[in-house]
Chain A
Amino acid sequence: MKSSTEKAARVLLMVGIFSSAAFAHPMKGVGDFYAGMLHPLITVETLLPLLGLSLLAGQQSRETATKLIVIFPAALAVGTLLILVRPFPAQLTTSELLMTACLGLLIALARRIPAWIPIGLSLLIGLGIGWSNSVEITGEVSAVRFVAGLSLVGLLITTYGIGLVRQGKLEWMQIAVRVAGSWLAAVGILVLGLK
């Protein structure tokens, strides 16, 4: 009987073998739904806080993690609507880095924190990522499909991150998560220096 870790590794290996390069912006033939799913994953600025939030959610209580699974995809969807109010301000990329650094430090500390902190972070990150991705909804792109893809990928990453951290009973897994947090913090702090 194969362990879930082994199965997951096999799936990742197969995905890795059969994957081809993804180009987010001219996503011809991909479809609006999958464009929405892929765009945040291939933009490092958004991928890092996404991963960080999912790992932090996994370190929190079951109740908080469950709330994040609902709140974060919703925040992504609402964030895309902000484009109707005003265009995405480029300065917000700095806040994404700040969030990445904060998330990384919190993950490295591996402490249960008051629920309002991860919930607040997920709202800010979700709104920011949604807003920044909304600039891709132009011309013939279906906003509904794009936003649905975006929200789904937010849901999947958060859920997988929570599952990975909470199901990883092995001590080394918890340590690996903290190490990953320290890396996220380091990247965020370093690039913040340029802003």
Chain B
Amino acid sequence: MRNDLLKRCSIPLRGAAVIAGLLALNTPAFAHTTSGQANGFVTGFLHPLSGLDHVLAMVAVGIWGAQLKRPAIWILPVAFPIVMSIGGLLGVRGVPLPGVEVGVAASAVVLGFAILLELRPPLWIAAAIVSAFAIFHGHAHGTELPKAASPLTYALGFVLATGWLHLCGILFGLVEVWPTGAKLLRTAGAFIAGIGVFLLAGMVTHL
């Protein structure tokens, strides 16, 4: 009977159950507020990995790129760091950007839904969406840069970590060639969007 129940549950439904479980256990992640953490390559590398919002958004860029196939699979990860550096430049120069954390969390929501719904907009729109969010991610990293003991190695660390997360997303996204894999990706999209909504909700309740 238990097996019958499991068989009747679709993969997205099981995914939703997992998401619900994780949401119950989660606390909001604020990667950018830790003071004095920027010291060099290792701290730079760990910075994007220290916030769930960053991790999910970066992986989502890779997965969405894989869903969109060529040339998006590589154009998005090429465009992202360059535009991110412009956002970072704003952060380094102290140019205020309102709602950075909201923008970062919103990136997880939007990209998660794009994966869930298998949205396939024209390439330039996809690139524009990803680039817009890259500004927020870059600004968040950039504000930490002046505190770094070695800004160059810090920047190198977080750019490499960002690229590594994209690569993880792309490699995961390659499972789309199998029918079950496509469902798995949509489930992952639901997971990412769910976490993003949770983080946004957390910010709203903290206001």
Same assembly: yes
Interfacial residues, chain A to chain B (CB-CB below 8 A): 44-45, 48, 97, 104-105, 108, 175, 178-179, 181-183, 185-194
Interface of B is mostly: helix
List, in ascending order, chain B residues with CB within 8 A of A189's CB.
82, 85-86, 88-89
Bound complex: CA A175 to CA B82 (Å) = 15
List, in ascending order, chain B residues with CB within 8 A of A192's CB.
89
B78 — nearest CB in chain A belongs to which residue? A182
B87 — nearest CB in chain A belongs to which residue? A190
Check B132 for interface membership: any CB of A closer than 8 A.
no
Find out whether the CB atom of B152 lies under 8 angstroms from the CB atom of A186.
Answer: no
Kindly provide the distance from the CB of B3 to the nearest chain A CB, expressed in whole angstroms. 42
List, in ascending order, chain B residues with CB within 8 A of A175's CB.
74
Find out whether the CB atom of A182 lies under 8 angstroms from the CB atom of B81.
Answer: yes
If A181-B78, A191-B151 are given as contacts, then 15 extra A-B residue pairs at C-beta distance below 8 Å, sorted by A number, are A104-B82, A179-B163, A183-B159, A185-B85, A187-B156, A188-B85, A189-B85, A189-B88, A190-B142, A190-B145, A190-B151, A190-B159, A193-B93, A193-B145, A194-B92
Listed from nearest, the 5 A-B pairs whose CB atoms lie closest are: A193-B92, A186-B85, A186-B81, A189-B85, A193-B89
Given A183-B160, A186-B155, residue A194 in contact with residue B146 (CB < 8 A) = yes
Find out whether the CB atom of B74 lies under 8 angstroms from the CB atom of A44.
Answer: no
List, in ascending order, chain B residues with CB within 8 A of A190's CB.
85, 88-89, 92, 138, 141-142, 145, 151, 155, 159
List, in ascending order, chain A residues with CB within 8 A of B160's CB.
183
Check B77 for interface membership: any CB of A closer than 8 A.
yes
List, in ascending order, chain A residues with CB within 8 A of B77's CB.
179, 182
List, in ascending order, chain B residues with CB within 8 A of A105's CB.
82
Question: Mind listing 13 A-B residue pairs with CB under 8 Å?
Answer: A104-B82, A175-B74, A178-B74, A179-B74, A179-B77, A182-B81, A183-B160, A185-B85, A186-B82, A186-B88, A187-B152, A190-B159, A193-B145
